[in-house]
Amino acid sequence: MSTLQIDFGDTKPQSKIVGIDLGTTNSLVAVMDLTGPRILSGIVPSVVSVTASGDAIAGAKARDALVTQPERTVYSVKRLMGRGLADIQNELKLFPFRIAEGSESVLRLRLGGVVMTPPEVSAHVLRKLKLDAENALGGPVTQAVITVPAYFNDAQRQATKDAGRIAGLDVLRLVNEPTAAALAYGLDKRKQGIVAVYDLGGGTFDISILRLQEGIFEVLATNGDTHLGGDDIDHLLMQVALEDIRAEWDEDISADSTAVQLLRRAVIKAKEQLSFVPEASIDLEYRGRRYQRTLTIDVFDRLIRPVIDRTLRPCRACLQDAKIAVEEIDEVVLVGGSTRIPLVRSEVEKLFRARPHTELNPDEVVALGAAVQAGILAGDVQDALLLDVTPLSLGIETMGGLTSKLILRNSTIPASATEVFTTGVDGQTNVLIHVVQGERELVKDCRSLARFDLKGIAPMPAGMARIEVRFLIDANGILNVTARDQRTGTEHSVDVKPSYGLTEGQVEAMILESVEKAEQDFAARQVREAQVEADAVLAATERARKEPGYLDLTDEERSAIDTAINELLVVYHSDNHELIRAKIDQLDVATQKLAEIIMNSAVGAALKGTKIDA
């Protein structure tokens, strides 16, 4: 049996593992102390600017440069992470910076005379956070847990890890932002429940529905709008203020970048005050003149209601996608600074019929959750859910002795994965589920963990059955494998407990062996896949030769089929997968007329006795 948790033993790092919320608009770094998670420094704007001398700066100074040198400044780079040029055409019109030549395969941004990829840009933000953390802790910081949106795909997650590596950080784990928010509130202590995470940030809105079961957070559905957030509220207030100023001063200041920046700051200040007081003033002094407007909470609510309503539509769609009724929601968590707005909180409570959690700072909750995860990995949190990783990939044996990996090496646990397989023999009523562990392509080179039979499958032609196999690793490292016939509902499962596990040395040896033999393994897999396909084609041809239609072929056509079969059998045991597939194609061509005859015969039999008007 295998051990699915890593025992860090005496290898606990001397430096602290930090938790980082790498946000679209702002970023934060936090750490786990004896009293709980805490933020190490202030909010760092996720903005990077290149100076005239070619030096890159990140944070508040870079944000200020948006006014003076927009063509050298990048913001919202998170939207570009792991994406290609074709993916961001709609985004480009929103940004002042330009895409550099040669971005067809890898996106490259031109900032003045400097060219950077999105991970390199994000790395500057991470370096700033790393430096702030080191100054606060008084020592080096080399390891981190970084949060990502639940909807980030593999490319976007890898780009985030690349950014960490460029910044000099060993990214121990990527944690989904809604999961981090739930961890910050300690919701992992529940046995089970449904959690809604409403995240309204500066530039984006996300809603995620999570199911917590035996310590495992599973994202049931996610929805949102990548162009909806607090910036839209700022824009509404800006338009009101600009129209007032135009009427009072008889001047349009919208083209004056300095005036606009000062007004934006005044608008944001008033917006923030309205989260706590019934009225606030937009106050601007510029070139000897002053503009003031008092804004009541009632007027403010009327102005922003269309924006808030736009967030509720994805919430309803997310509930529908998750197949969850509102009444089933147990907890609601608010994330993002814009959720301080009273109208947001009241509308969320009205929609989900549950009072949302507001105990923590919504700007900080994701970073705090990342710090909790970091504390778990560091061993500082003894009574919390252990979200560890699988040291080696886990999968099952498929036709031809091939390994189909369901949970990949270094996947965070608790984890789950589901895949649908089928049968390889006509009339098959039971299948052997062989669970294996390892990185090699062939089962014979992996470690066998368990075997069990799923019986009672409905007999069907090969390839028609649907067998759902689900892997579930709980917080204790116990792997539960369940196989279910989707047609009959017949189900069988087995627990693979972490006894008689692998040592770290054995794990490292297996990983090293898989790297050293990767090319050899891949070639062997290609051969076995070609042989499995050949088996299926030969079996189908043999069945077809027993059909009455086979006698309708000419001697020459039957001879061509026999020749193609023999030539395929000759190369079947070779190590040249391309040659095997070429002979499969040759047999396909030779049997094409036979397939047409059999098909026409089947259609004719099905339509026999049927009237035209029927």
Reading phi first (left if > 0) and then psi (alpha if -120 to 50, else beta), residue 254 is in alpha
Structural domains present in the chain? 17-185+364-374 (3.30.420.40), 230-302 (3.90.640.10), 390-516 (2.60.34.10), 519-607 (1.20.1270.10)
User: Among 149-153, 455-459, 504-508, where is mean pLDDT lowest?
Assistant: 504-508
pLDDT of residue 281: 93
Active site residues: 21, 78, 177, 199
d(CA 421, CA 462): 11
pLDDT band at 386, cuts 50/70/90?
Answer: very low
Q: What is the pLDDT of residues 292-331, one digit of tens each?
A: 999 999 999 999 999 999 999 999 989 998 889 999 999 9
Q: What is the pLDDT of residues 80-127, one digit of tens each?
A: 887 777 766 666 655 666 777 766 667 888 888 888 888 899 999 999
d(CA 133, CA 298): 41
Contact 152, 119 (CB under 8 A): no
pLDDT of residue 79: 79
* Residue (of 210, 450, 502) closest to 335 by Cα position: 210
Kindly provide the residue ranges of all beta strands, DSSP E only, lying in 170-288, ordered along the sequence. Answer: 170-176, 192-200, 205-213, 216-225, 279-286
User: Among 73-82, 331-340, 568-577, where is mean pLDDT lowest?
Assistant: 73-82
pLDDT of residue 2: 29
Q: What is the pLDDT of residues 410-427, one digit of tens each?
A: 666 677 888 888 887 788
- pLDDT reading at 612 higher than 60: no
- pLDDT reading at 20 higher than 90: yes
The two structure tokens encoding residue 420 = 């649908």
Q: What is the pLDDT of residues 558-601, one digit of tens each?
A: 899 989 999 999 888 888 888 998 988 998 888 888 888 877 77
Contact 165, 271 (CB under 8 A): no
d(CA 280, CA 584): 77
Other residues' Cβ atoms within 10 Å of the Cβ of residue 106: 11
Please give the C-alpha separations between residue 199 and each of 270, 307, 565, 598, in angstroms, as whole numbers: 22, 14, 61, 58
d(CA 49, CA 55): 8
Average pLDDT of span 597-613? 63
pLDDT of residue 97: 65
* Residue (of 339, 329, 328, 330) closest to 364 by Cα position: 339
Burial of 107 (0-12, 13-18, 19+ CB in 10 A): buried
pLDDT of residue 614: 45
Across all residues in the chain, what is the average pLDDT? 82
Q: What global pTM score does this model have? A: 0.59
pLDDT of residue 426: 81
Q: What is the pLDDT of residues 148-184, one digit of tens each?
A: 887 676 577 888 888 998 999 999 888 888 888 988 9
- Residue 128 has phi, psi (to 5 degrees) of -60, -45
- pLDDT reading at 498 higher than 50: no
Give the whole-number percent of the chain exceeding pLDDT 70: 84
Q: What is the pLDDT of residues 360-375, one digit of tens each?
A: 999 999 999 999 989 8
pLDDT of residue 6: 32
Length of the chain, please?
A: 614
The larger pLDDT score, comparing residue 269 to residue 489, is at 269
* Residue (of 278, 279, 258, 282) closest to 269 by Cα position: 282
- pLDDT reading at 504 higher than 50: no
Other residues' Cβ atoms within 10 Å of the Cβ of residue 418: 12
